[in-house]
Amino acid sequence: MQRPETSSSSLLSMAEAVESPGGCSNSEVILAQAKACQEEATASVVGTFPTTTAITAANNSPELGDLVRLGPKNLPEHRGRSAIVTGVSASHCTVAVLGDSLRIVVGECWPNFGDLSIENCLGRLGSKVLISGLTGSRTQWSNGLRGTVVAHPKEGHPCFIQKPGAAADSGPVLTFCVKLDRPPSKRPGQVLMELRFLRDDNSNNNNNNNNNHNKAQEEEVNAGGKS
């Protein structure tokens, strides 16, 4: 399979973006690895998360930002590992292979759809997420905020960054750009967040829909009683 072309690296300037495992925050992040070519890439809003399942003709194809598990036909060092989808073609996709923490990129490969399974779709464009778990003094303000996964205006989707001071041989960190629903005053409207700080917020949307539906029914009953 021919290796896709990659773009050149560039600078990211979003501050409250990513924390180290120990909770220390950084004021800027640098793109360390260009994303693979996103030829024929597609993205859509998702409502629920599918359980891990092998992809067949009857199932949907993976999309950008999906977390997948690599099957036995991949290289030995990649078999059974989790990866994030960075490009989608007709019958295969480009993925960034992740380490055990699901943070650091350790490789890249191009599996066929039949040799991977989708673990979750939290990173898909349009996913509704809740931010939580941040402990750094410069990032805690984001805890509890809700938003939508979007493409970064310059770097696309998903994003890979190298934190200042990181070892030269350490891989880039996977992040997602989140557009905040209600950013606090004097705070950025979009932030880069690691996967570990994102939670599925579709349940909140479902509750809101149910509340609106119940309210509509109540108004309909009241209107009927007045006639």
Rounded to whole angstroms, the Cα distance separating 104 from 17 reads 15
Q: Is the dihedral of CA 184, 190, 192, 194 positive or negative?
A: positive
Token readout for 196 is: 């570990």
Q: Quick one: tokens of 197?
A: 């700080």
> What does the pLDDT average to over 88-108?
95
Residue 95 contacts residue 85 (beta carbons within 8 Å)? yes
Residue 162, pLDDT score: 85
pTM above 0.85? no
Write out pLDDT tens, residues 117-172: 999 999 999 999 999 999 999 999 999 999 999 999 998 999 999 877 766 567 89
Give the pLDDT band of residue 83 (cuts 50, 70, 90): very high
Q: Name 190's bridge partners.
A: 179
Give residue for tokens 């994003």.
Answer: 159
pLDDT at 224 over 70: no
> For residue 49, what pLDDT band results from cuts at 50, 70 and 90?
very low
Contact status, residue 1 vs residue 130, Cβ threshold 8 Å: no
Residue with tokens 């960034």: 96
Give residue 61's pLDDT: 84
pLDDT at 44 over 80: no
Please give the average per-residue pLDDT across 70-89, as a whole number: 96
Percent of the chain with pLDDT over 70: 61
